[in-house]
Amino acid sequence: MIVFVYGSLKQNKKLHSYLKNSEFLGYALTCEKYPMVLSKSGWYPYLIEKPGVGYQIKGEVYKIAPKTLKILDKVEEAPHYYYRKKICVKIGNKKTKAWVYFVKKPPKFTKKELLKEF
């Protein structure tokens, strides 16, 4: 299983330890543009499923075990707070499908608030 992470699960971030036994496949960009905004607390970002709006999001791709995906679902409070969906991501010139977490109830945002990476 392949997962694309863009926030607190990335290397050197607060929750990266959940991926410690996973294989890092590389840095990646989403194939589509998506809006990403910072939470009110500023501690983590929200990725919003609105393709074509915002920027191609920078993140990291990992090969994970099914057991790790279940753990990530709990960490991300899926499907209540975030939900998981497969999207296209690019690692260099190679496109692949990866699971990503989108926020379930997206906040209102302005173009000025949009992030490319966290």
CATH code of the domain covering residue 98: 3.10.490.10
Q: Is residue 96 part of a domain?
A: yes
How many H helices and E strands in the chain?
1, 7
Mean pLDDT of the chain: 95
Given 23, 32, 76, 113, the catalytic residue: 76
Domain that holds residue 98: 2-107
Q: Is residue 114 part of a domain?
A: no
Q: Is residue 117 part of a domain?
A: no
Q: Is residue 46 part of a domain?
A: yes
pTM recorded for the entire structure: 0.94
Q: What is the pLDDT of residues 61-112, one digit of tens each?
A: 999 999 999 999 999 999 999 999 999 999 999 999 999 999 999 999 988 9
Q: For this structure, is 76 an active site residue?
A: yes
What φ, ψ does residue 116 adopt, rounded to 5°? -95, -30
**Total number of domains constituting the chain:** 1
Q: Is residue 61 part of a domain?
A: yes
Q: Is residue 112 part of a domain?
A: no
Q: Is residue 116 part of a domain?
A: no
Q: Is residue 47 part of a domain?
A: yes
